[in-house]
Chains A and B, each alone.
Chain A
Amino acid sequence: MAYVVERKPLSLSERLYIPQVLAGMKTTLKHFFAPNVTMEYPEQRPAIPPGYRGVPTLVKDPHGREKCVSCQLCEFVCPPKAIRITPGEIPADAANAHVEKGPKAFDIDMLRCIYCGLCQEVCPEEAIWLQNQYSMSGYTREEMVNNKERLYELGGTLPDQHFKWDKKKAAEQRGNAHH
């Protein structure tokens, strides 16, 4: 419901205009001497709230193993098709060998990524996380594509005490192929 705001007649000092302007100048002068309220970004960083969805990263489990099994669900679900996974096997004698596969290459094109977080939602291994890194910049398009090394470097290790692969591997060694 629209209603008309009655405009009050101006008082004498308002009609003279000068006192009002001077009052305004007093206010701005106060701001002139007040300390700055800006955060000077590269030197000062804002506090990132928990649960912030920043740059998608890959994480390792506390044993330093890759969690990703290159199921490609995140690649499939990614709306702007920013993720590209080349699946690969993990050699049986590798230090980080486990029963599943691992990605040979894992690229996220940050020029395409829309930070939707669907990859994190869909990941069955909780290997891909949107963490609190929010500042991505580069001079070339190539620089803006995060490869596997970069993703692990950004992601680091999550202190998750649920060692799924240890249990799975132990079950396999007990002769139980499917747990």
Chain B
Amino acid sequence: MPDDARFGLRRHVTLAGPLRLDGGMLLSPVEIAYETYGTLDPDGSNAVLICHALTGDHYVASEHPVTGKPGWWTRLIGPGLPVDPARHFVICANVLGSCMGSSGPASENPATGQPWGMAFPVITIRDMVRAQAMLLDHLGVARLRAVIGGSMGGMQALSWASTFPDRVAAAVVIASTARHSAQNIAFHEVGRQAIMADPNWRGGAYYGDGAPPTAGLAVARMAAHITYLSEAGLTEKFGRRLQHSPERPNGAKSFGFDADFQVESYLRHQGISFVDRFDANSYLYITRALDYFDLAEEHGGLLANAFRHTTARFAVISFDTDWLYPTSDSRAIVHALNAAGARASFVELSSPFGHDAFLLDAPEMNRVIDGFLRAGER
């Protein structure tokens, strides 16, 4: 396998398709950027698919080429960690609609030779999962030992177990939900409106020589970032402390609209650094996919029906300070799993860090995932 060009870091594949989308369109070809770590067992039984969150990418355990930062889940994936390339064949793909190498609004529309822009079809979480399934076919992976995801990645994990019940042995669903709430949709709409209100957005046709709508995207990111934290976490980190600067080394109010408060300057930094690595149109498409997500609706309104055919084991994990996808959302998943007779585990972990807790140091989460995965490897 070492000389098989399908496996390794920074891979990109163009699959002929077509991929039939929930919106009715056929997409072809389908480009997918991905990485793999570890070696696929001869019987193909050790594959673990990692699903990323809204603004994530496939650089899950390797250095990000734009930011130079380590992978976004190196706390979970690595030697001696719950997902261990010595034991697992790890796959992470950039989702459909994103901007890090998979088909999305910034990629080329074969019909025009130009970037898709807003002509790119609206996609769903299930479409992302179907594209991942095409990638697995390409890699020769028939069945996943586990699919693991947090936030939007958790929705993909649920969708995987529901859409391809025969291909999933275990699913880990962290800080996630089976449906987007009105509040979730409302926050996303604020972000989308910020992007579309930016004069540089120009109906999404800003690729090429035009300047992208970075101001709008930064505002969208700032609004969303607040939902990833908790009030207690923000208070602990920043409180009402003032920002130090060369002009005001001890911090003072400017009696203007500079970033006087540390929390303001933190959010501005989050917004500005985000635009370097993310495309505004992708943000529109992926937030839309999240808003459309309602796994029960796809199954006649009854969530348990989504799991009727699954034989997978499930681990559902929530964090007590997550108000984006609160524990009650996870409980709804667990109730449905119980009603369907699925083998489900659920735990609410304590963390001060809100929704983002799953990306941070969470030893209890690691312990649970490790035990859960090993139970399937006995």
Q: Do A and B come from one complex?
A: no
B residues near A (Cβ < 8 Å) are none
- List the interface of chain A (C-beta within 8 A of B): none
